[in-house]
């Protein structure tokens, strides 16, 4: 369903171009979708350009050349102009219920029949926001987190009159632009994430109000401790591990009684003028004179680096980024399939963050890894997969020659196309070509000679006849191809 819905989203209307609205615009545009923005702020074009510029810098570091061609940005003179030909609308107005109710009704009256509205509200109930709409079934909350263009979480919550199809469409749209959808089961003020953040925020205000800690010290308590774990494990997984081998039950029995002690003050202190001045002064001191855009770039770089680190483990936000990178490079034939000329497609992937070097190119060892992975695909295809190896026999690579003909950068889609040049009872002669789909060029080749072995005896042995036949069938299927350029080459100085 998501794939079909994504194909229908050609244009998004953005109503409200502040920090969140501009962040939404950046995420949509950098994922190849046109946006029209309405905001009465006379500075909206300048501010939006600054946010999109930061987002372009960050997402290029995150996804590299996997990103599609950018969508266009236009600035509308009215709400009706912004939404009249939009397939999806993201409302990011100030958090005033009366304003949202009135302007959501205005969007509803002007938008196409098929359009859906996602509201960025951080806590207002969608049932109340639907009150003035003629088509209340088309409204859903899509609550993001700043910076919208990097952080993947979006809370999706419907009101009493929201249709299931509207929720499904919104979830599919958000997923297709690389977000992690958290379905809020029941309407509740503040939804899920903000309620948790507010509990920490209230306690932090008390710590400052009572003179126990400064703003900087409170932030240090989070960023050097629990915050590092929260970024990939949340709360309950952290506590599960704290329970040791007996898990959460042991943790609750051991630490449960202390949790009932009155440590916290979850009803916040009054924001008196004195407290506001104290927090503002401490925040200014903490910032150390750095301006907003510098801090935004630092924040974005840290988030990108953290996401790359998590991606190496295919975990938490890293798993979302990896899935989105694969989605951006989708549509290729299945790995292991035989191409029209008889070669086998053995690798099809965007260049991953862990494969690049200091020059942002695919690094030397990664070529060998990818060619080796391609060899494994051929072996599995002829019957020498993991089960066969576990049984005590395998194919060992005894000679390799790699040529580096070009470069591939982060996110660039590459394929390895493999020929089986020759095969007999004990030997397999492979030739791989790595192709950059973006450059439409061969960027590396690898020639491999493999020998079939009895792993326990540590000596060569004939492969089973069925395996020999499967390898020879691949050779025959590629026989019409000319010898590949570079086969049989040696490394030597000219002259």
Residues 460 and 361 in one domain: yes
Q: Is it the case that residue 7 has pLDDT exceeding 50?
A: no
Q: How far apart are the first and last CA of the chain?
A: 62
Give the per-residue pLDDT at 332. Answer: 60
**What is the mean predicted confidence (pLDDT) over 7-19?**
90
4 has a pLDDT exceeding 70: no
Judge if 362 and 464 occupy the same domain. Answer: yes
Residue 170 or residue 325, greater confidence: 170
Question: Does 239 share its domain with 360?
Answer: no
Query: Do 187 and 39 share a structural domain?
Result: yes
Determine the Cα–Cα distance for residues 19 and 290; give it in Å rounded to an integer: 19
DSSP string computed for 234-250: TTHHHHHHHTGGGHHHH
Most confident listed range (6-15, 20-29, 238-247, 343-352):
20-29
User: Comparing 413 with 96, which gets the higher pLDDT?
Assistant: 96
Is residue 326 domain-resident? no
Tell whether omega for the bond before 147 is within 30 degrees of 0, i.e. cis. yes
Give 217-270 pLDDT, tens digit per residue: 999 999 999 999 999 999 999 889 988 998 888 888 888 777 777 788 888 899
Distance CA 141, CA 191 (A): 10
Q: Is residue 265 part of a domain?
A: yes
Q: Which of 75-84, 103-112, 454-463 has the lowest mean pLDDT?
A: 454-463
Indicate which CATH number applies to the domain containing 138. Answer: 3.40.50.720
Q: What is the CA radius of gyration of the chain?
A: 28
Tokens of 411: 């996110």
Question: What is the average per-residue pLDDT within 391-412?
Answer: 94
- Which CATH number goes with the domain that contains 259? 1.10.1040.10
For residue 56, is it within any domain? yes
Residue 2 pLDDT > 80: no
* 488 falls within a domain: no
Q: Residue 205's Cα: distance from chain center in Å?
A: 34
Is residue 300 in a domain? no
Distance CA 432, CA 116 (A): 47
* Contact status, residue 356 vs residue 363, Cβ threshold 8 Å: yes
Same domain for 36 and 174?
yes
Give the Cα separation of 87 and 77 in Å (integer). 19
Q: How confident is the model at residue 69 (pLDDT cuts 50, 70, 90)?
A: very high
**pLDDT for res 322:** 86
Yes or no: say if 51 and 26 are a contact pair by the CB < 8 Å rule.
yes
- Got the DSSP string for 246-292? GHHHHHHHHHHHHHTSS----SPPP--HHHHHHHHHHHHHHHTT--H
Average pLDDT, the chain: 93
Residue 482, Cα to own-chain centre: how many angstroms? 41
The H helix count followed by the E strand count for the chain is: 18, 14
Identify whether 277 is part of a domain: yes
The pLDDT, as a whole number, for residue 264 is 83
Q: What pLDDT, on the 0 to 100 scale, is given for residue 320?
A: 94
3-state secondary structure of 112: coil
The 10s digit of each residue's pLDDT in 179-208 is 999 999 999 999 999 999 999 999 999 999
Q: Is 101 left (phi over 0), alpha (psi -120 to 50) or beta?
A: alpha
CB 150 within 8 A of CB 300: yes
In this structure, the answer to whether residues 182 and 228 fall within a common structural domain is no
Question: What mean pLDDT do residues 139-149 have?
Answer: 98
Reply yes or no on whether the pLDDT at 6 is more than 60: no
Q: Reduced to 3 states, what is the DSSP secondary structure of residue 20?
A: helix
Last residue of a domain, one of 289, 309, 329: 289
- Rounded CA-CA distance 78/224 in Å is 46
Residues 11 and 157 both lie in one domain = yes
236 vs 197: CA distance, rounded Å: 15
Residues 28-32, mean pLDDT to the nearest whole number: 97
Task: Examine the domain organization and report whether 206 and 275 are in the same domain.
Answer: yes
Q: Report the C-alpha gap between 317 and 307 in whole angstroms.
A: 6
- Same domain? 281 vs 381: no
Rounded CA separation 344/448 (Å): 15
pLDDT of residue 354: 86
Question: Which pLDDT score, from 0 to 100, does residue 489 have?
Answer: 83
Determine, yes or no, domain membership for 297: no
Q: What is the DSSP letter of 194?
A: H
Does the pLDDT value for residue 8 go beyond 90? no
Claim to verify: residue 126 and residue 22 sit in the same structural domain: yes
**Closest by alpha carbon to 176, among 425, 355, 6?**
6
Alpha-carbon span 70 to 32, nearest angstrom: 4
Helix (H/G/I), strand (E/B), else coil: 118: strand
Are 79 and 33 part of one and the same domain? yes
Task: Choose one of 138, 164, 191: the last residue of a domain.
Answer: 191
Q: pLDDT grade, residue 116 (50/70/90)?
A: very high
359 CB-contact burial (10 Å; exposed 0-12 / middle 13-18 / buried 19+): exposed
Percent above pLDDT 70 for the chain:
97
Q: Kindly give, in sequence order, each residue whose CB lies less than 8 Å from that of residue 266, ignoring residues fewer than 6 positions away.
A: 199, 202, 203
Q: In terms of residues, how long is the chain?
A: 495
* Spatial separation of the C-alpha atoms in residues 367 and 349, rounded to whole Å: 13
Tokens 């990097």 correspond to 150
What pLDDT, on the 0 to 100 scale, is given for residue 350? 85
Pick from 191, 218, 240: which residue ends a domain?
191
Question: What is the helix, strand, coil percentage profile of the chain, to 5?
Answer: 45, 20, 35
Assess whether 185 and 227 both reside in one domain. no
Q: What is the DSSP string of 334-386?
A: PTTPBPTTS-EEEEEEEPPGGGB-TTSBBPHHHHHHHHHHHHHHHHHHTT-SH
Quick: pLDDT tens for 304-349: 999 988 987 889 999 999 889 888 876 567 788 999 999 999 998 8
**How many domains is the chain built from?**
3
Domain contains 333: no
Beta partners for 441? 436
Q: Does the pLDDT value for residue 412 go beyond 60?
A: yes
Looking at residue 331, its pLDDT comes to 59
Residue 352's pLDDT band, with cuts at 50, 70 and 90, is confident
Residue 456: per-residue pLDDT:
87
Number of neighbouring beta carbons within 10 Å of residue 226: 13
Host domain of residue 170: 2-191
Q: Is the pLDDT of residue 5 over 70?
A: no
In this structure, what CATH number is given to the domain that contains residue 454? 3.10.129.10
């Amino acid at each position: 369903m998501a794939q079909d819905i994504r194909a229908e989203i050609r244009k998004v209307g953005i109503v409200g171009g502040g920090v969140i609205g501009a962040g939404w615009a950046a995420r949509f545009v950098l994922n190849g979708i046109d946006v029209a923005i309405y905001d009465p702020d006379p500075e909206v074009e300048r501010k939006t350009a600054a946010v999109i510029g930061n987002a372009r810098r960050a997402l290029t570091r995150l996804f590299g050349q996997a990103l599609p061609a950018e969508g266009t940005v236009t600035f509308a003179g009215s709400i009706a102009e912004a939404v009249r030909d939009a397939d999806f609308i993201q409302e990011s107005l100030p958090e005033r219920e009366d304003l949202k109710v009135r302007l959501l009704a205005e969007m509803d009256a002007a938008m196409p029949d098929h359009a859906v509205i996602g509201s960025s509200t951080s806590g207002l109930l969608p049932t109340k926001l639907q009150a003035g709409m003629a088509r209340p079934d088309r409204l859903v909350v899509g609550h993001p987190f700043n910076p919208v263009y990097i952080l993947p979480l979006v809370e999706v919550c419907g009101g009493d009159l929201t249709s299931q199809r509207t929720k499904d469409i919104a979830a599919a749209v958000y997923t297709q632009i690389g977000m992690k959808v958290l379905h809020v089961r029941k309407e509740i003020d503040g939804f899920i994430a903000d309620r948790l953040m507010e509990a920490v925020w209230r306690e932090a205000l008390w710590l400052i109000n009572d003179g126990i800690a400064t703003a900087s010290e409170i932030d240090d308590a989070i960023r050097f401790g629990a915050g590092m774990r929260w970024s990939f494990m949340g709360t309950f997984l952290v506590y599960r591990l704290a329970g040791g081998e007996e898990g959460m039950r042991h943790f609750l029995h051991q630490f449960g009684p202390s949790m009932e002690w009155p440590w916290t003050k979850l009803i916040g202190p009054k924001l008196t003028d004195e407290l506001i001045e104290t927090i503002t002064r401490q925040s200014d001191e903490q910032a150390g004179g750095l301006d907003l855009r510098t801090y935004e770039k630092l924040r974005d770089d840290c988030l990108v680096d953290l996401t790359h680190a998590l991606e190496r483990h295919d975990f938490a936000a890293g798993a979302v980024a990896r899935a989105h990178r694969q989605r951006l490079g989708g549509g290729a034939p299945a790995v292991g399939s035989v191409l029209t000329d008889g070669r086998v497609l053995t690798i099809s992937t965007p260049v991953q963050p862990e494969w690049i070097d200091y020059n942002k190119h695919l690094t030397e060892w990664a070529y060998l890894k990818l060619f080796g992975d391609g060899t494994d695909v051929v072996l599995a295809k002829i019957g020498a997969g993991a089960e066969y190896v576990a049984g005590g026999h395998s194919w060992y690579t005894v000679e390799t020659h790699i040529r580096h003909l070009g470069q591939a950068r982060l996110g660039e889609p590459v394929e390895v196309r493999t020929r089986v040049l020759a095969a007999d009872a004990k030997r397999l002669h492979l030739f791989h070509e790595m192709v950059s789909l973006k450059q439409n060029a061969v960027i590396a080749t690898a020639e491999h000679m493999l020998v079939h072995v009895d792993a326990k005896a540590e000596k060569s042995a004939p492969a089973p006849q069925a395996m020999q036949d499967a390898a020879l069938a691949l050779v025959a299927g590629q026989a019409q191809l000319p010898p590949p350029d570079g086969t049989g080459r040696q490394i030597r100085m000219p002259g």
